[in-house]
């Protein structure tokens, strides 16, 4: 390597990444200066290669303040801007970091793990959490059928997100349901709680009993469906990323509203979140031409989400606990006899905690 | 009103809003059909005005399926698309629904309320929660200085969001701080936890003791600062809405990363979230020209956020509990003597729950 990694880098970027102990707190790695603390006219004064105990590096003396920074050569190799290519390291949340799937893609390779292995074996747990990140879900088997066990499952990778439905919610036939989930009705593919912002990003469903006729489960990869829409009807895709959609939920103690597009893209246009829920979509307030365009696109996306090829069907057995990405996967169920015994316990959590748990498992595994 | 509100509305939009009991579950108001269930070629067959016990309405008979919908005239007045104007009813989360402020705008009208009045008086509580929605914060006074009381405050309007810092966190000098917040250091204006996604949208800080020299508080309206940047340097504003910024936090049990722009706008370009935290900003991976452009814009925004005119300074007294919008306001504190007794307890919660609590208070108040 030559010094071009230094001289080709914008000075404020390079200086902002100075690893010295006056720039970063050695106790916690937090940056100790503001971007506004850097002197105006910042420039590399001199560069020289220096040997180091942990590998070679490059020392920069900065103008005009004389600050010295030492950049390990490894760090420059990994991070310096080279030629114009954007780094590949996303934060794992957009389509760029996912494996999109249709039902057939998962034939014979449903991501699952037994509870005992998940708890006892680091590699299994890494695989399970990675499945949620890459495929959008994992199915844990033989999870103890204990009341409130779903909360313990959530705590293995993050924190339970309480909502108006409680710390956990009972998915079974209720006498006075505030949500159709709590009846025996068929539920078409949807994401949960689109009327919340921030939406709960992870959902868990733990099956305690499933003896009813019907009540089978379905999952659809919403990112895949959105990507198909973009390919088949780019204009409809564009409309669904641009029109804020009102979602609402009301009961005796709750009145939630949020306005977000059905397909949320990041600033680079990559699919990042999908919201789809016919039960709670509210009244859109737009001009007639925008409404006409939106409804055509909405219907088109809805048709796509119902394609049988996209839907993975399976049946939750007692002890199964499904963990899935609620910003990406749509879930569904067939109708079941209200007299039958079907009982799930559900809870919400968040993807950031799951990502952290996964990163720590990997880090500690690498260090072991 | 004439029938033009009907005939000028796109048919799928109008039908999607049919209020009849077969289209919406009368128990919970949830929609019972999918957009894909509507017949192709949907059109208004006939329209007639009908008198009603609760006011006049319009009955539509639909082609081709003969479904009948009855739309109250009031509803059409409020919702039908008229001429091309977008409805004004946002979800309260973008700059369009905020009152942006500089410090002088709040002179003599700091939004505050005593705890007793907040608990006992619906109007006071509405005013307090509305202050968080419109101004970004409220200061509750004389909140009992009990350990963990901050959690009770959060439960008055929503649910505590647990994080790696715990259900609550202690803001005081810690022997081995994993965050500079837990030292006596000056902390410049920042939003919390930008390395979380979803970020906690509400923060609470409850002052139990504040006898140290220093340790005064500051708030800056990040939406106002972003709007100023847009006016003064539109190009810099644009860059900050487009470039995903890596934020990270690492300690023994945590490894969080998120990539989001510093200024998040909704699909209509309205400011919706601000993230700013020098301590946890990571290494950006972009081409050299993008890095150069980003750093110039970042610095410009940083300078703006430090303008004294924007910063509201005050001192938290024992018993004060500050509740603020962490997607909008930046908070800061002056340095304090580490030997001094300063102790806050903090917690996170979310804006959606706060908005729901406010809507329910208003609804129940209107019904009372």
Q: Which CATH architecture has domain A4-79?
A: 2-Layer Sandwich (3.30)
pLDDT tens digits, one per residue of A26-49: 888 899 999 999 999 999 999 999
Q: What is the ipTM of this complex?
A: 0.95
- Across the interface, whether the CB atoms of B159 and A162 are under 8 A apart is answered yes
Q: How confident is the model at residue A93, as a pLDDT? A: 96
Query: Pick from A10, A199, A306: which is nearest to B295 by CB?
Result: A10
Answer yes or no: is pLDDT of B368 > 80. no
Answer yes or no: is pLDDT of A283 > 80. yes
Query: Pick from A13, A92, A278: which is nearest to B34 by CB?
Result: A278
Q: In the 8-state DSSP scheme, what is residue A95?
A: G
| CA nearest neighbour of B325 among B219, B253, B250, B247 | B219
CA–CA dist B157, A254 (Å, integer)? 11
Q: How confident is the model at residue A1, as a pLDDT? A: 57
Categorize the per-residue pLDDT at A85 as very low, low, confident or very high, splitting at 50, 70 and 90: very low
CA–CA dist B232, B304 (Å, integer)? 10
Percent of chain A with pLDDT over 70: 97
| Section A84-97 average pLDDT | 76
Categorize the per-residue pLDDT at B339 as very low, low, confident or very high, splitting at 50, 70 and 90: confident
> Which CATH superfamily hosts domain A95-363?
Clavaminate synthase-like (3.60.130.10)
| Section A199-205 average pLDDT | 98
Q: How confident is the model at residue B177, as a pLDDT? A: 82
Answer yes or no: is pLDDT of A116 > 80. yes
Q: How confident is the model at residue A87, as a pLDDT? A: 55
Number of C-beta neighbours around residue A336 at 10 A:
21
- Across the interface, whether the CB atoms of A28 and B201 are under 8 A apart is answered no
Q: How confident is the model at residue B84, as a pLDDT? A: 45
Q: Does A341 touch chain B (CB under 8 A)?
A: no
3-state secondary structure of A116: helix
Answer yes or no: is pLDDT of B87 > 60. no
CA–CA dist B115, B78 (Å, integer)? 38
Are the C-beta atoms of B226 and B232 separated by less than 8 Å? no
- Intra-chain end-to-end CA distance of chain B, in Å: 32
Test mutation, A11, A72, A161, A244, chain B, max B CBs within 10 A: A244
Q: How confident is the model at residue B1, as a pLDDT? A: 56
Q: How confident is the model at residue A84, as a pLDDT? A: 45
Answer yes or no: is pLDDT of B85 > 50. no
Query: Pick from A278, A285, A355: which is nearest to B79 by CB?
Result: A285
- Across the interface, whether the CB atoms of A286 and B33 are under 8 A apart is answered no
- Across the interface, whether the CB atoms of B303 and A89 are under 8 A apart is answered no
Categorize the per-residue pLDDT at A183 as very low, low, confident or very high, splitting at 50, 70 and 90: confident
Asked whether the domain spanning A95-363 has the same topology as the one spanning A4-79, the reply is no
CA–CA dist A62, B299 (Å, integer)? 18
Answer yes or no: is pLDDT of A83 > 60. no
Identify whether A21 is preceded by a cis peptide bond (ω within 30 of 0): no
CA–CA dist B343, B318 (Å, integer)? 9
Percent of chain A with pLDDT over 90: 82
Categorize the per-residue pLDDT at A88 as very low, low, confident or very high, splitting at 50, 70 and 90: low
pLDDT tens digits, one per residue of A302-357: 999 999 999 999 999 999 999 999 999 999 999 988 887 899 999 999 999 999 99
CA atoms within 13 A on the CB side of A219: 31
Cα–Cα distances (Å) from B193 to A149, A264, B247, B279, B327, in that order, read: 29, 22, 9, 10, 10
E-strand spans in chain B? 43-50, 57-63, 68-72, 112-114, 137-141, 169-171, 187-190, 202-210, 217-221, 245-251, 254-260, 263-265, 271-274, 311-314, 321-325, 329-333, 342-349
Per-domain boundaries in chain A: 4-79, 95-363
pLDDT tens digits, one per residue of B122-161: 999 999 999 999 999 999 999 999 999 999 999 999 999 9
């Amino acid at each position: 390597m030559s010094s071009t990694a230094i001289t080709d880098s914008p000075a404020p970027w390079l200086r902002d990444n100075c690893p010295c102990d006056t720039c970063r707190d050695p106790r916690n790695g937090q940056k100790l200066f503001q971007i506004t603390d850097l002197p105006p006219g910042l420039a590399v004064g001199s560069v020289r290669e220096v040997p180091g105990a942990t590998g070679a590096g490059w020392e920069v003396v900065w103008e005009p303040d004389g600050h010295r920074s030492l950049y390990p050569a490894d760090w420059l190799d990994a991070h310096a801007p080279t030629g114009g290519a954007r780094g590949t390291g996303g934060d794992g949340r957009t389509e760029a970091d996912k494996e999109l799937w249709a039902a057939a893609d998962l034939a014979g390779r449903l991501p699952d793990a037994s509870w005992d292995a998940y708890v006892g074996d680091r590699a299994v747990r890494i695989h399970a959490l990675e499945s949620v990140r890459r495929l959008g879900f994992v199915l844990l088997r033989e999870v103890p059928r204990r009341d409130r066990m779903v909360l313990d499952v959530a705590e293995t990778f993050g924190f339970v997100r309480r909502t108006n439905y409680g710390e956990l919610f009972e998915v079974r036939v209720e006498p006075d349901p505030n949500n159709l989930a709590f009846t025996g009705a068929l539920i078409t593919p949807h994401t949960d709680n689109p009327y919340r912002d921030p939406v709960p990003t992870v959902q868990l469903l733990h099956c305690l009993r499933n003896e009813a006729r019907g009540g089978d489960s379905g999952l659809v990869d919403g990112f895949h469906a959105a990507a198909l829409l973009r390919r088949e009807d780019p204009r409809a895709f564009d409309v669904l990323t641009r029109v804020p959609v009102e979602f609402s939920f009301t009961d005796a103690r709750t009145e939630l509203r949020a306005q977000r597009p059905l397909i949320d893209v990041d600033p680079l246009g990559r699919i990042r979140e999908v919201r789809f829920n016919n039960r709670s979509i509210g009244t859109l307030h737009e001009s007639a031409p925008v409404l006409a365009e939106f409804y055509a696109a909405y219907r088109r996306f809805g048709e796509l989400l119902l394609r049988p090829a996209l839907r993975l069907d399976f049946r939750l057995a007692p002890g199964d606990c499904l963990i899935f990405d609620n910003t990406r996967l749509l879930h569904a169920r067939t109708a079941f006899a209200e007299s039958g015994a079907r009982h799930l316990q559900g809870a919400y959590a968040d993807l950031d905690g799951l990502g952290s748990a996964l990163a720590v498992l990997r880090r500690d595994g690498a260090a072991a």
